[in-house]
Every structure is written in C-alpha cells, then in structure tokens.
Amino acid sequence: MEMPEEPANSGHSLPPVYIYSPEYVSICDSLVKVPKRASMVHSLIEAYALHKQMRL
C-alpha cells in the first residue's frame, strides 16, 4: 500500500476556512442525509460568537 504524498507545506498547518452565503446554506440544508445541518452549524457559530474571531 502506497503512503499518500506529504503536502508541499509539510509541518505548517493552514488555518481553517469558513464560507457562508444564504444561498449556499439553503442548498446544503436541502440535502437529504444532513437536513438543516448548515443552518444549525451557522447558528452555533453565531451563538458562540466565533464569527467575531474570524479574519475576513
């Protein structure tokens, strides 16, 4: 079994990314396997004020 290649920036982790748009949330909310998950996640991010710690 082959081992996956190391990323070019090995040892340096990139910060997480959060993308939000009402249209994207609506589309994701309509997925049958995870209904309303996008709305719930965004609501939690706002409830815990995590969006205030994000760099735009």
pLDDT at 40: 97
* Domain locations along the chain: 22-53
pTM, to two decimals: 0.65
Rg (CA), the chain: 16
Q: Which is higher by pLDDT, 37 or 3? A: 37
At 7-54, the pLDDT tens digits run: 565 678 888 888 899 999 999 999 999 999 999 999 999 999 998 888
